[in-house]
Structure 1
Amino acid sequence: MTDFVIPEIKASEDEMIAIRHYLHANPELSLEEFKTSDLVAKQLESWGYKVTRGIGTTGVVGSLKKGDSNKSIGLRADMDALPIFEETNLPWASTVAGKMHACGHDGHTTILLAAAKYIASESCEFNGTVHLIFQPAEEAIGGADLMIKEGLFERFPCDRVFALHNMPGLPTGKLGFYSGNFMASADTVKITIKGYGGHGAYPQRTVDPIVTGAALITALQTIVSRNVTPGETAIVTVGTFQSGIASNVIPDSAVMELTVRAMKPEIRDLLIKRIEELADFTAKSFGASCDVEVYDSYPVLINDDEQTAFARELAVEFFGKDAVLDTVLPSTGSEDFAFMLQERPGSYFLLGNGEKGEKGGCMVHNPGYDFNDAIISTGASFFSRLVQTYCR
């Protein structure tokens, strides 16, 4: 891949790696990315971008126009870290206990900064406007949605938008594209069962929310197997079930939380509907009641066919056929870039972080993960080519 990296981007690689290591050592959680935003804004301003801050609380947009064309393109990077205790023992390991860049957003931010420096240089010729979107809160809350609700695309019009994610398990620096429904929707569902507590020695005088909840957990396992067409992707997982504080006390309530995933919007709607129905019917059958709350919801990420084909063909043209993976499968992971793809055509693609057993092969959201610095220049070069090719 090195042979296809833009020389000017390669020349700034040491500078960018230093930025990446600083970001990794100083992680910030969702909507707390104040130092990260400061660094991003100062770098963009030094290269001549018009910088807008505070969109979605800590989001930053850098805008640059060259020539007289009305064409516009958006490139997005996420900035937030995760609440994980790092175990890498690297020189640039997190200095903040319980916070870690365990998903590579430090690398994504650096890739977009490396592209930004080149795009602003005299060496990069294009005719149009580029908006570089540095987004907060991808891991929680839905920072993309926050930015959109605060007028992202009205204030910074984009004909098309692109984003990437590093992917452990894929060969270092190789690009993967998928057209259509690529990543699952994700919903957190909180179910609160309300019973009537009492002494554990007299259960007949109570409405036991634990027994009710146990029955509901069993019933929830039938949703996918008995309501979803075989072959469709659907997941209903009960991740927490909390109730009671003593063995001889039947509590008043029980709370469970679910993660719900689907690859099609209509399947997503079906899962939520059946969860609500089963929760209500099961609670009533035991003499209890319940509340169902759905939140932290991300839609299905759907890559535009035309824009995905454009990006794939561009990768083959500039990097060669061997640099593009033949097969990339849809994922039941979720990604809030899906909100942006609901508003503008575009594509979300993968950049190999390293295969298992190699540097960069540790899976994301793991305390031993680290972003592979070897792919910074590759990602930045491809982002730059997207701008140059579309804005001709």
Structure 2
Amino acid sequence: MTFTVPAIETPNTLQIRLEIRALQAQLVEWRRQLHQRPELAFKEQITAQFIAQKLQEWGIEHQTEIAKTGIVAIIKGDRPGKVLAIRADMDALPIQEANEVPYRSQHDGIMHACGHDGHVAIALGTAYYLSQHRHTFNGTVKIIFQPAEEGPGGAKPMIEAGVLKNPDVDAIIGLHLWNNLSLGQIGVRSGPLMAAVESFHCTINGRGGHGAMPHQTVDSILISAQIVNALQAIVARNVNPLDAAVVTVGELHAGTANNVIADSAWMSGTVRYFNPQLEDFIGERCDRIIAGICSSHGATYNLDYWQLYPATVNDPKIAEFVRSVALEVVETPLGVVPECQTMGGEDMSFFLKEVPGCYFFVGAANPAKNLAYPHHHPNFDFDETALGIGVEMFARCVERFSEIS
């Protein structure tokens, strides 16, 4: 399907080269085609086929079916040099889209509500541009199209499949279109950018009975309430106040009637933190707190606790390099936002644990066009001008990467 692409009004503070401005309509076209056909984790067959077809048309060397649906494209410059990887995620979310737009999702209950369709379009635009301008950079660029960022995570299996090898990657960069920043802003931060993500399910096993005879029971709801309160003490009293952390119980299910004390209760939650030293600590504290409260009431419990993603930690040298590139693109220090941390998680973190790199945000919100809904919202959308900004950022990073010693 062909879409009518609106005229793009690029802010005067942005420096986008003419060749990339000329790609803007195509970037929007690709993004909207992908938006119409969203796919969930490890099921991105249509998306992968779309990417592979473009790479084949352009004569770009690539490998498919990595970690099921992942793709790696390799583009060599005219001169030898180091290897820079660029990562783009490509999966969607199980959300019913509420936007009334011509490119609305055609897959019921599935939506690109986090901008991954834009990430793929930016990576494709970067691949095309670099393949046509190999004389502008040294070394090799690996563009990694990754499945399953939203969960259970595609970065780790791609790493295990060897995407950072042959040739070995010296550094990696990636971006996220970000509706928490305005169009024309770029968020770059050294150190922790996004939080580690851990999750838990817990069943409290008490002894049910009549609501009028609580002495004959072990009240799973009462125990659960004490646990929910006590878990907050982990952050309040066990974590350094200078280290941000969150423990959230998001689900609590128990009971069937107002005069029946529930035999069991079930809860689930999420844990977030930036400091890698907190890995294992919060999970162990959760277990001890739940065990102690249950023991004091004569209840038992089953706790399933797992680590999903580590913290996304940017290498200081690569982050400063990306910041210097961003200052060229936005042409004003006010456009580069250093304090852009979020408790959201990202499996880009696995790549950053293997090689130095930087993950950064490209502002994509435009309230004047009603394009400022938060990520994972059924009305999420973004200002597509950000697509060209993303390509410009990647192209400049590739061209200047040889500067890093």
Fold-level match, TM-score > 0.5?
yes
Quick one: which amino acid aligns to residue 25 of structure 1? Q
RMSD: 2.1
1:275 maps to 286
What residue number does 2:315 align with? 304
C-alpha displacement at 1:379, in angstroms?
A: 0.6
1:346 maps to 2:360: no
Q: Contact (CA 8 Å) 1:173, 1:323: kept in 2 or not?
A: no
Aligned residue number for residue 20 of structure 2 = 9
**8 A contact 1:197–1:249 mirrored in 2:** yes
What is the SS of the residue equivalent to 1:329? coil
- Residues 40, 338 of structure 1: CA spacing in aligned structure 2 closer, same or farther, 3 A cutoff? same
Shift in alpha-carbon separation, 1:34–1:280, aligned structure 2, 3 A? same
Q: After TM superposition, list the pairs within 5 Å mapping 1:246-325 onto structure 2.
A: 246-247=257-258, 249-295=260-306, 297-322=308-333, 324-325=335-336
1:63-78 aligned within 5 A? 63-78=74-89
Question: Which residue matches 1:37?
Answer: 48
Q: 2:164 aligned with 1:144, yes or no?
A: no
Query: In structure 2, the residue corresponding to 1:75 is in which secondary structure?
Result: strand
In structure 2, distance between residues paired with 1:118 and 1:124: 11
In the aligned structure 1, how far is the partner of 2:143 from the partner of 2:402? 14
1:94 to 105, 109, 115: 105
Separation of aligned partners in 1, 2:265 and 2:50: 45
Cα distance in 2 for residues equivalent to 1:315 and 1:206: 63
Q: C-alpha separation between the residues in 2 aligned to 1:304 and 1:16? A: 30
Partner of 1:107: 118
Letter in 1 for 2:283: I
Query: Shift of residue 380 of structure 1?
Result: 0.5
Structure 2 Cα separation of the partners of residues 323 and 58 of structure 1? 39
Helix, strand or coil at the partner of 2:393:
helix
| Alpha-carbon distance between aligned partners in 2 of 1:268 and 1:20, rounded to the nearest angstrom | 37
Separation of aligned partners in 2, 1:154 and 1:253: 50
Deviations 1:106-154 (A, max 9, x none): 1111111111110111465222111101111111112112212222213
SS of corresponding position for 1:63? strand
Distance 2:37 2:184 in 1: 25
Match for 1:306: what amino acid? K
Structure-2 separation of matches of 1:357 and 1:378:
19
Q: What's the TM-score, normalizing by structure 1? A: 0.93
How far has the Cα of 1:19 moved from its partner? 1.1
Deviation at 1:318, TM superposition (A): 4.9
Q: Structure 1's 250 and 149: CA in aligned 2 closer, same or farther, altered over 3 A?
A: farther
**1:54–1:248 CA distance, 2 compared to 1 (3 A):** farther
8 Å contact from structure 1 (residues 234, 267) kept in 2: no
Structure 2 letter corresponding to 1:162: I
The equivalent of 2:218 in structure 1 is 207
| Mapped partners of 2:188, 2:326: distance in 1 | 10
Q: Which residue of 1 aligns with 2:136?
A: 125
Structure 1, unpaired ranges of 5+? none
**Offset at residue 103 of structure 1 (A):** 0.7
Distance 1:57 1:199 in 2: 52
Question: Match for 2:348 among 320, 337, 350?
Answer: 337
SS at the partner of 1:196?
coil
Q: Select the residue among 198, 210, 232 that pairs with 1:187.
A: 198
Q: CA deviation at 1:268?
A: 4.3
Query: Hey, what does 1:59 align to over in structure 2?
Result: 70
- Report the AA paired with residue 328 of structure 1: E
Per the alignment, in what secondary structure is the counterpart of residue 241 of structure 2? coil
Indicate the residue corresponding to 1:50 in structure 2.
61
Residues 1:296 and 1:136: Cα distance change in structure 2 (over 3 Å): farther
Q: 2 CA distance for matches of 1:225 and 1:235?
A: 10
User: CA distance change for structure 1 residues 218 and 174 in 2, over 3 Å: closer, same or farther?
Assistant: closer
Measure the CA separation in 2 of the matches of 1:91 and 1:224.
46
Rounded Cα–Cα distance in structure 2 between residues aligned with 1:126 and 1:319: 22
What is the aligned length? 392
Range moving further from structure 2, 276-285 or 355-364: 355-364
CA gap of 1:103–1:318, structure 2 versus 1, over 3 A, is closer
Report the secondary structure of 2:165's partner residue: helix
1:85 aligned to 2:60? Answer: no
Aligned mates of 1:180, 1:284 — CA distance in 2: 41
Q: Which amino acid aligns with 2:75?
A: L
Aligned to 1:238: 249
The amino acid across from 1:270 in the alignment is: F
- When normalised by structure 2's length, the TM-score is 0.90
Change (3 A) 1:181 1:13: same
Q: 1:222 pairs with 221, 233, 244, which one?
A: 233
Instruction: Name which of 154, 165, 184 aligns with 1:154.
Output: 165
Q: Which residue of 1 aligns with 2:127?
A: 116
